[in-house]
Amino acid sequence: MDVGQAIRVLRRERGMTQSQMGASCCMSANALSALETGKSFPPRSTVERICKACDVPVAYFLMACIEEEDFPEDKRILYRTQLEPLRRELLGDE
């Protein structure tokens, strides 16, 4: 998953429209759409605003962008077993 996809997933999990999230992050819905579709890449300050608006740590986006193929084959079991618990912890899900 890339950063744009992670933003979209988080926005949808929070039940927000692009307009709502954009407003809470001081950006337009069009700018947010460009991020979600990969037409633009967010600077760190934008990622920080999105994280603040959604009450998640910046680490959420780092974790969301790591894929199984990024790990050596003999370490991929760690990724598979730890991804969901780590995601829940970072998002504060019960």
Q: Decide if pLDDT at 5 tops 60.
A: yes
| AA identity, residue 56 | V
Q: Where are the domains of the chain?
A: 3-91
- Percent of the chain surpassing pLDDT 70: 94
> What is the token pair recorded at 52?
């603040």
Higher pLDDT pick, 21 / 64: 21
Average pLDDT score, the chain? 86
pLDDT in tens, 37-55: 999 988 989 989 998 988 8
Q: pTM of the predicted model, to two decimals?
A: 0.71
> The domain 3-91 is classified under which CATH number: 2.40.70.10, 3.10.20.310, 1.10.260.40, 3.40.920.10?
1.10.260.40
Q: Decide if pLDDT at 94 tops 70.
A: no
Q: Residues 1-29: what's their mean pLDDT?
A: 90
Confidence at residue 78, expressed as pLDDT on a 0 to 100 scale: 81
CA dihedral 13, 14, 18, 19 (to 10 degrees): 160
Per-residue DSSP letter, 51: H
Provide DSSP, 4-23. Answer: HHHHHHHHHHTT--HHHHHH
